[in-house]
């Protein structure tokens, strides 16, 4: 520990770089720039091979350290020659470096084994997961990010272009750039460790709780125009969700669009049979199931066509031209479907403001954790993925429901899960006919549902 530490805020020259990356996108172009500037490049394993194939000279880290890669390549860069070259303060530790033949490493370009991708594989077991925990990479990254006064740490290929431009304009890297990259580097390793921690811990609601996400997109604004907002997603998540949806046409999704679309998709995943969900302000206003998609859509939309105006329609079957013709007659903001035939897309293309989203094959919602912010902390609970069946119901009256009535009741329970409390639902023939949502009084919710149901 150094007493009274100081921090160099001046631009630094890059004389030597260490490049060791799993994601090799863009690395050859970056290394080519370093080569043209006369910067020595140290590298390891696969990265060194890729650079040499591009006719870029590199020095193996093992040649520099005079210590071979050992233990199946697990020990490569954990060495005082490497860590000293990164961590050393140029204005304080030059004598130590010279005595121990340590060369300064001014630039560290590194990203890590894809742990999150590994654990998402169906064949992943604990042994494979642990094998893909990177040790040397985080050590180098944290060392470079800590020594921001003298070293530049780069972990994201997106930043290679900016680094190349800055080096090309004068051969130096400013403190402002180093500081920005340093913050990103610590974020990279923090996210990495969080993913590992959450994978290994046995108790979901453990004594410590942390989550990590990657920025998906910046919103124009949040729920209201004065609120900043962005969308973040689970790293390497490939499930069928709104953030992973293909947008065939229409404007970028807003904060409120994503909230409403997510609510529609969540409700849609409740049903195996052909289903249509109409959502407005994150509440279902019309839901129907059946055998024929066109009939199901018609029943769901007409359940409350007034509320459906400007809402979201979600269906769980391919959208064909006959269904597209009917949907094109009404004004909605967003349409969700697993797929579309070309004639349907051609019809929708005439409605430029309609957002058409392909969400892919629908699967049941998995039990996960939901987080809600409160002042001073968060509340965490499991996602409600439970589904009632006839076996869960006990009739306590002499009059017993018929099989059709029982089926309709169970349909209603599935929908009601997604209606804001107090919520009251009236259903008939596997169709909602009246929904009273989000009322502080149950009486009011009943009255609204009855009014919407009419006769």
User: Which residues are identified as catalytic?
Assistant: 146, 281
Contact 84, 150 (CB under 8 A): no
Could you tell me how far CA 276 lies from the centroid of its own chain? 26
**What phi-psi label fits residue 368: left (phi over 0), alpha (psi between -120 and 50 degrees) or beta?**
beta
* 8 A C-beta contact, residue 105 and residue 151: yes
Strand partners, 59: 42
Residue 329 has phi, psi (to 5 degrees) of -80, -15
Furthest CA-CA distance within the chain: 94
The conformational region for residue 433 under phi > 0 = left, psi -120 to 50 = alpha, else beta, is alpha
User: What is the residue-wise DSSP string for 10-41?
Assistant: S-EE--EEEEE-SS-TTHHHHHHHHHHTT-EE
| CA 43 to mean position of chain CA atoms | 31
- Quick one: which of 410, 436, 435, 424 has its CA closest to 270? 410
Please give the Cα distance from 221 to 70 (Å, whole number): 52
Structure tokens at 198: 């959450």
Task: Determine contact, residues 434/453, Cβ cutoff 8 Å.
Answer: yes
- DSSP letter string over 319-371? B-HHHHHHHTTS--SEEEES-B-HHHHHHHTT-TT-EEEE--S--PPPP-EEE
- Report the 10 Å Cβ neighbour count for 421: 12
Task: Look at phi and psi of residue 101 and say left if phi exceeds 0, alpha if psi is from -120 to 50, else beta.
Answer: left
């Amino acid at each position: 520990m150094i007493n009274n530490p100081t921090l160099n805020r001046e631009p630094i020259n890059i004389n030597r770089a260490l490049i060791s990356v799993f994601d090799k996108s863009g690395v050859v172009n970056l290394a080519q720039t370093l080569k043209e500037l006369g910067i020595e490049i140290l590298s390891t394993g696969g990265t060194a091979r890729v650079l040499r194939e591009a006719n870029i000279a590199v020095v193996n880290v093992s040649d520099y350290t005079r210590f071979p890669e050992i233990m199946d390549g697990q020990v490569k860069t954990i060495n005082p020659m490497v860590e000293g070259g990164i961590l050393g303060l140029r204005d304080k530790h030059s004598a130590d470096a010279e005595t121990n033949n340590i060369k300064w490493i001014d630039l560290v370009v590194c990203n890590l084994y894809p742990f999150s991708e590994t654990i998402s594989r169906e064949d992943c077991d604990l042994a494979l997961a642990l094998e893909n925990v990177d040790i040397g990479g985080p050590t180098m990254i944290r060392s470079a990010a800590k020594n921001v006064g003298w070293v530049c740490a780069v972990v994201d290929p997106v930043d290679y272009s900016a680094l190349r431009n800055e080096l090309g304009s004068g051969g130096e890297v400013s403190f402002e750039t180093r500081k920005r990259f340093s913050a990103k580097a610590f974020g990279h390793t923090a996210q990495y460790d969080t993913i590992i921690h959450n994978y290994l811990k046995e108790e979901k609601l453990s004594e410590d709780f942390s989550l990590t996400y990657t920025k998906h997109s910046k919103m124009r604004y949040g729920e209201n125009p004065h609120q900043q907002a962005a969308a973040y997603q689970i790293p390497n998540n490939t499930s069928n969700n709104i953030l992973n949806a293909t947008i065939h046409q229409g404007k970028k999704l807003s904060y409120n669009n994503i909230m409403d679309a997510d609510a529609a998709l969540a409700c849609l995943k409740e049903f195996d049979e052909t289903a249509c969900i109409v959502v407005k302000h994150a509440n279902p206003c019309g839901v129907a199931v059946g055998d024929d998609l066109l009939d199901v859509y018609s029943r769901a939309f007409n359940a409350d066509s007034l509320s459906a105006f400007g809402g979201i329609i979600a269906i769980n079957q391919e959208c064909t031209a006959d269904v597209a013709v009917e949907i094109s007659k009404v004004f909605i903001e967003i349409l969700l479907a697993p797929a579309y035939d070309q004639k349907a897309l051609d019809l929708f293309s005439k409605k430029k403001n309609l957002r058409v989203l392909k969400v892919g094959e629908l699967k049941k919602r998995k039990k996960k954790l939901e987080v809600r912010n409160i002042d001073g902390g968060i509340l965490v609970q499991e996602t409600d993925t439970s589904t009632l069946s006839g076996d869960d119901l006990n009739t306590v009256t002499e009059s017993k429901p018929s099989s059709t009535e029982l089926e309709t009741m169970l349909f209603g329970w599935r929908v009601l899960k997604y209606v804001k409390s107090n919520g009251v639902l009236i259903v008939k023939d596997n169709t909602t006919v009246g929904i009273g949502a989000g009322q502080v009084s149950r009486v009011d919710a009943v009255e609204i549902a009855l009014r919407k149901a009419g006769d």
